[in-house]
Amino acid sequence: MQKRTLAALIGLAALAALQPLGAWAQAGDWPSKPLRMLVGSAPGGGTDAMARAVADRLAPLLKQPVVVENRAGVSNTLAADVTAKSTDGHTMVMGVVTAHAIAPHLLKLGYDSNKDLVPVAFVGSVPNVLIVSNSVPAKSVQDLVALAKKEPGRINYASSGAGSTQHIAAEIFKDAAGVDITHVPYKGSAAALVDLVSGQVQMSFDTMPSVIGQIKSGKLRPLAVTSAQRNAQLPQVPTMAESGLPAVQVSAWYGVYMPASTPKAVQQKVHDEVNKVIAMPETKARLEAVGAELTPMSQADFVAFHNAEYQRYGDIIRKNQIKID
């Protein structure tokens, strides 16, 4: 009798623990408390800018605060790891290509990007920009290639960390142009740009939101964008393809991911509200001002996009034999 009573009590406790999330999923009472939007990079970078632009407008729609929390490090994967393992039903991550399509091919992670997290709402993408310090005499990609060939190993390129899009783009450039340049990884774009502006490092393939201010103020010189088309914020800057290196095509993309255990109804609610935020004129203006290209997707399209990018970067990393030391 005691065993049956204990088993019944355990069963009721388990049902009670599951009931709130199930109730939210059915009755639309989710969220019931403040939400966390994790960011895998330090404040001031592209991922942080995208997260804050969305979170600021998302909170009123969900009628709960959306707190942006920076968990920088390990190629943006710390934030993804925390989100994948969260069980509070109120944690999401501003996912970025680095964490979800690149790092899984380079690092041993504590979560499975394809199983433990689910793509919920695509936000947009930004091109990487090949920028050089004003101390570098190159005025074009061709000039830079010639300079790198003249002085092998003397040019250093900065990145926001090993495995970042800056790192991947530079390694593709290195292979495509046949040059010897040296990687100097930093803990985030902000620190890298300080040394780039001062001339401590010579070049970088940073993301548009991180560098647009320094470019427009004349502190850094853009040579090319890595997108297929020129960017509206820098219409005078050619693409890498126009500069003779079509293989160097890399963009940083961003989207909201949630734990795979999140009820489908909650995923749909977040998808719908994030897309409302992206469509707001204020949000569009804020994101387009830093070079973002906003491409609304259904959740199914975002899942398919994630899978395709995961495969594409895996192929790039294997082809170029990119490794993290």
pLDDT of residue 321: 86
Q: Residue 120 pLDDT > 70, yes or no?
A: yes
pLDDT of residue 9: 44
| Same structural domain, 63 and 200 | no
Going by C-beta distance under 8 Å and a sequence separation of 6 or more, which residues neighbour residue 321?
none
| Same structural domain, 136 and 108 | no
| Same structural domain, 135 and 70 | no
Q: Residue 123 pLDDT > 80, yes or no?
A: yes
Coil, strand, or helix at residue 297? Answer: coil
pLDDT digits (tens, 9 = 90+) for 215-231: 999 999 999 999 989 99
| Same structural domain, 200 and 305 | no
Q: Residue 11 pLDDT > 60, yes or no?
A: no
Averaged pLDDT of the chain: 88
**Rounded to whole angstroms, how far apart are CA atoms 181 and 202?**
10
**Rounded to whole angstroms, how far apart are CA atoms 63 and 307?**
32
**Rounded to whole angstroms, how far apart are CA atoms 71 and 63?**
25
| Same structural domain, 150 and 238 | yes
Residue with the bigger pLDDT between 163 and 15: it is 163
Per-residue pLDDT averaged across 189-200, rounded?
91
Going by C-beta distance under 8 Å and a sequence separation of 6 or more, which residues neighbour residue 308?
none
Domain limit, last residue, from 243, 277, 305: 243
**Rounded to whole angstroms, how far apart are CA atoms 94 and 50?**
8
Is residue 166 assigned to a domain?
yes
Confidence of residue 122 (pLDDT cuts 50, 70, 90): very high
| Same structural domain, 64 and 98 | yes
pLDDT digits (tens, 9 = 90+) for 229-263: 999 889 999 999 999 999 999 988 999 999 999 99
Domain limit, last residue, from 243, 278, 300: 243
Q: How far is CA 111 from CA 78, 80, 115, 165, 233, in A?
A: 10, 8, 8, 21, 37
Is residue 22 assigned to a domain?
no
User: CA torsion 93→98→104→106, rounded to 10°?
Assistant: -150
pTM beyond 0.85: no
| Same structural domain, 94 and 194 | no
Domain count, the chain: 2
pLDDT of residue 188: 78
202: containing domain: 127-243
Q: Residue 27 pLDDT > 50, yes or no?
A: no
Amino acid, res. 110 = G
Residue with the bigger pLDDT between 16 and 190: it is 190
